[in-house]
Amino acid sequence: MRVLFGILGAVVEKVMSIAMGAAFASASIVIVLTLVDIGMRNIDKLIGLATGTKVGLAIVGLVDISQLFTMVAASLSIGVAFYRGSHVAVDLLTVRLSGLGLRLSTAFSTILNLTFTVGCFYAGLQAMRLDLEALTSSPTISIPYVAFWIPMLSGFALSFMGILLRLFSVGLFSGGSEKMENEVLDYV
């Protein structure tokens, strides 16, 4: 069982690394496209001042493109953050707990996290199905809304995997240990 968990952990680590790379690339694309668009609009202003006529330089559909790539970056990075334990956590109560109390608190918060994530995935899947049936698309350059739901649902799936595997990696179900208690304090 330990070997299987080790193999699964290695695969998930690779998936999370790819997801983080895709999130970084997506955020970078948004930044570069925005800067290029600003530059093009400034050049257009200069041409307008020199000739009296604006050419209309700009990236068509930048808002739609930026929204899509921002959705990819945010959705994927949230799942990775859950897996790596680098998400925001409030530990006002858990810092005072130890042993069984800490394990129970972690189990309760993890069950809430998993339930919420599954609920979001299900609601997103239903909304994507409706958008697919209605053939809804973005207003400027007609990107199908399904393209926006795919990274969101992928992010929910990564979050679910990350929460679940982080839970097992900190040893919640192994009877507890000092290592588990230290890591759970970082997790909860």
Residue found by looking up tokens 């839970």 in the block? 167
CA gap 96, 139 in Å, rounded? 52
pLDDT at residue 183 in the model: 47
pLDDT at residue 173 in the model: 53
Query: Do the Cβ atoms of 157 and 121 come closer than 8 Å?
Result: yes
| Amino acid, res. 94 | T
Q: Please write the tens of the pLDDT for every residue from 24-76.
A: 999 999 999 999 999 999 999 999 999 999 899 999 999 999 999 999 999 99
CA angle 108, 113, 117 (to 5 degrees): 150
Q: Is 142 left (phi over 0), alpha (psi -120 to 50) or beta?
A: left
CA gap 173, 178 in Å, rounded? 13
Residue found by looking up tokens 């699964």 in the block? 8
Residues of the chain where predicted confidence (pLDDT) is lower than 70: 1, 87-90, 166, 169-188
pTM given for the model: 0.76
CA gap 45, 96 in Å, rounded? 61
